[in-house]
Amino acid sequence: MARSRASRARVPRRAPTARPRPGWAGTLSRRAVVPMLIALAIALPAAGQGLERRLVVVVPEADDPRVEHTRAAIAFWNRTLADLGLDVRMREVEVVAGPPGMRAIETFARFVSQRGGRIPKGRDGPQPPPELTALGGDVVVLLSRQPLLPFAWPLIGSPDHLVAIRSLRSGRPRDDTVLRNVIAHELGHTLGLRHNRGGASLMCGPCSSLAARESPGGWLPLTARDRALLRRLHGKVETLGQPGRAGVEAVPD
């Protein structure tokens, strides 16, 4: 009897075990990875990147001479902040001449100037007109038609400050020098500086116009206290690497 051949079942071949694929860093040579990391570092915002304070200047007429005084005050602060090693800067983003809501903005400025020391700030205080908030920026600088008491008033949202500057005083000697220091003083409040009692300094309160006229270089100086406060408010925070924001106490001067 012929023996039957046992049929052998064909066993499928086992596929080779898949090895875990390395991550992207493992598939690239060091020569390829290093330039990629450098490019990524350049593309991302640097730690401690400067904070920019955007200023919108509102004037009755485009040729108002106080615009140049405002620009001089901005340049003064940017030099001062650079000398202190701080990254925060001010930048004029727009000059708005005679906007449709000028009357509403002037009325609000007059109200704050007359009652600023007796009314609350923030949400409990007087709310700015929509014509003011629509201007945007971080600080709105109003070069007023009125002989009002200059001030820097904190607001909620954007802009976060209204700075109001009085009209020029014709017939007063070197009022332009005085006014430049007044503008720089009020911008100092938007950076978080407070009044200094006594002495001829930029943040003095009350101040003598004679001190401003006789100040060397045309600018009243900052005190050591002012410089220390600016470093504390706007210095680099090691944990986040971002400039600090000012906790502002701004009182009409």
Give the C-alpha separation, 142 to 57, whole Å. 6
Asked if pLDDT for residue 187 goes beyond 80, the answer is yes
Place of tokens 């050591």: 224
129 within some domain: yes
- Smallest Cα–Cα separation from 229: which of 218, 208, 244, 251? 244
Three-state DSSP at 253 gives: coil
Measured distance between the N- and C-terminal CA atoms of the chain, rounded to whole angstroms: 124
- Smallest Cα–Cα separation from 64: which of 105, 91, 98, 33? 98
150 within some domain: yes
pTM listed for this prediction: 0.74
9-65 pLDDT, tens digit per residue, is 444 445 454 444 444 334 334 454 444 433 433 333 343 456 999 999 999 999 999
- Smallest Cα–Cα separation from 190: which of 138, 133, 135, 226? 138
Joined together, the tokens standing for residue 171 give: 């017939």
Domain count, the chain: 1
131 within some domain: yes
Give the C-alpha separation, 116 to 114, whole Å. 6
Give the C-alpha separation, 253 to 237, whole Å. 31
- Smallest Cα–Cα separation from 182: which of 162, 211, 202, 161? 202
37 within some domain: no
pLDDT band of residue 174 (cuts 50, 70, 90) is confident
Which residues constitute the domain of residue 187? 52-234
CB 106 within 8 A of CB 241: no
pLDDT above 90 coverage of the chain, percent: 58
CATH of the domain at 76: 3.40.390
Distances (CA, A) of 174 to 70, 139, 167, 177, 217: 16, 27, 14, 5, 13
Distances (CA, A) of 239 to 44, 57, 152, 243: 17, 35, 31, 11
pLDDT band of residue 236 (cuts 50, 70, 90) is low
Give the C-alpha separation, 78 to 244, whole Å. 17
191 within some domain: yes
32 within some domain: no
- Smallest Cα–Cα separation from 145: which of 97, 106, 105, 95? 106
Angle, CA 78 vertex, CA 76 and CA 80 arms, to 5°:
70
161 within some domain: yes
Q: What average pLDDT does range 102-126 have in this prediction?
A: 92
174 within some domain: yes
